[in-house]
């Protein structure tokens, strides 16, 4: 039967060489014994070893600040997707520019949520630069997800130009049959919005990969599978819908199936976001409970130690130290003096 080296006393007493961050609070454990506890939060030092892609091996071991950031970010993302569906329902009341501005505001909040959930799980400093293996994925997601915000801002700009063009036509400033003002800007804004929406749809794949890493840290394999299906469903069906919208009347037969696939994929995506937010909230609550439990144990140990000191204080003091008398049996036997002449 193989022996876990962490159970050996030589491993437990060996000091940590190099910078190693605590899995719970990020404290630098250099110089501490491997079998000890973190002096900052009390977490076992051994739990800070054996890293995978993340610094922590379980989501509940992540730093409290990181869990709170994840919880807020996932709730923002889920709210944005729900608000996007609501904007489609409210399209009858929010005409033209009003709808575009509303959706552009959703895009800004969406990017803020992406920025939060792609925060580094490592404490800032040298440890982050050394152990942050998802650095490039995080940066790519933060850059690519700006496509949604810019796309909807382009759509709002297009609606604004259309409104000004209609106002010019209504005021008689346009000659019938003559060149239309803002026509080039309207076409450019519309094309930019279409291209950026495609970029945003494709960029959901690396974003879901990052979310799947968090789901793996939480040990939820079904969530990881749902995120993968949702990402590819949104990309494929969404791309089909956007292309159909640009070239209206093309491939009309598959438009209904694409819309159905888009709705199902977005539903799975929103459900996964809510589940991730709930898991992060549960991890925060579990961490608070663990801290409260450790505090109770510490207070109990301190109370027991104080009681022991109180019992010792009640004992009568020893004013004089009495040395016990030597017994006769313990007295040394005198040696016979040496006689002269021998």
Q: List the domain boundaries for the chain.
A: 1-50, 63-170+180-275
- Decide: 203 and 144 in contact? Cβ < 8 Å: yes
**What does the alpha-carbon distance between residue 311 and residue 80 come to, in Å, rounded to a whole number?**
63
Return the C-alpha torsion angle 130, 133, 137, 140, nearest 10: 10
Whole-angstrom Cα distance, residue 164 to residue 105? 21
pLDDT for the residue 2: 41
Q: In the predicted model, is pLDDT for residue 49 greater than 70?
A: no
Mean pLDDT, the chain, whole residue set: 76
- Model confidence at 233, pLDDT cuts 50, 70, 90, reads confident
Would you state the pLDDT for residue 251?
A: 55
Whole-prediction pTM value? 0.64
- 10 pLDDT more than 70: no
Query: Does the pLDDT at position 280 exceed 50?
Result: yes
Instruction: Tell me the per-residue pLDDT of 210-223, one tens digit each, with 9 for 90 and over.
Output: 888 888 877 777 88
Mean pLDDT, to the nearest integer, of 167-172?
76
- Which of 159-173, 206-220, 280-294, 327-341 shows the lowest mean pLDDT across its residues? 327-341
Model pLDDT, residue 115: 92
Q: Phi first, then psi: give them for residue 251, nearest 5 degrees.
A: 55, 50
Residue carrying the six token digits 């729900």: 82
Which region among 99-103, 150-154, 159-163, 334-338 has the lowest average model confidence (pLDDT)? 334-338
For position 114, what pLDDT does the model report? 92
């Amino acid at each position: 039967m193989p022996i876990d080296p962490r159970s050996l006393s030589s491993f437990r007493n060996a000091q940590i060489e190099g910078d190693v961050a605590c899995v719970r609070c990020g404290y630098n454990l250099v110089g501490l014994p491997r079998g000890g506890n973190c002096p900052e939060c009390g977490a076992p030092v051994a739990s800070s070893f054996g890293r995978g892609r993340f610094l922590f091996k379980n989501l509940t071991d992540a730093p409290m600040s990181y869990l709170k950031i994840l919880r807020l970010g996932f709730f923002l993302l889920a709210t944005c997707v729900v608000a996007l569906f609501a904007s489609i329902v409210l399209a009858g009341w929010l005409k033209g520019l009003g709808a575009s501005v509303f959706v552009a505001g959703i895009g800004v909040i969406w990017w803020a949520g992406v920025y939060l959930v792609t925060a580094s799980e490592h404490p800032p400093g040298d440890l982050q630069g050394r152990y942050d293996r998802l650095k490039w994925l995080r940066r790519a997601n933060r850059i690519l997800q700006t496509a949604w915000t810019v796309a909807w801002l382009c759509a709002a700009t297009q609606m604004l130009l259309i409104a000004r063009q209609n106002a010019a036509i209504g005021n008689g400033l346009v000659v019938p049959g003559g060149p239309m003002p803002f026509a080039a800007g309207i076409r450019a804004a519309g094309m930019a919005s279409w291209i950026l929406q495609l970029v945003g749809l494709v960029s959901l794949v690396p974003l879901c990969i990052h979310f799947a890493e968090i789901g793996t840290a939480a040990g939820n394999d079904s969530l990881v599978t749902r995120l993968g299906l949702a990402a590819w469903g949104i990309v494929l069906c969404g791309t089909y819908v956007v292309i159909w919208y640009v070239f209206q009347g093309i491939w009309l037969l598959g438009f209904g199936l694409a819309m159905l696939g888009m709705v199902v994929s977005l539903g799975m995506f929103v459900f996964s976001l809510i589940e991730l937010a709930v898991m992060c909230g549960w991890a925060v609550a579990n961490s608070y409970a663990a801290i409260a439990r450790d505090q109770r144990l510490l207070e109990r140990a301190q109370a027991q130690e104080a009681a022991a000191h109180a019992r010792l204080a009640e004992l009568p003091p020893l004013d004089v130290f009495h040395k016990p008398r030597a017994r006769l049996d313990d007295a040394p036997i005198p040696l016979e003096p040496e006689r002269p002449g021998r």
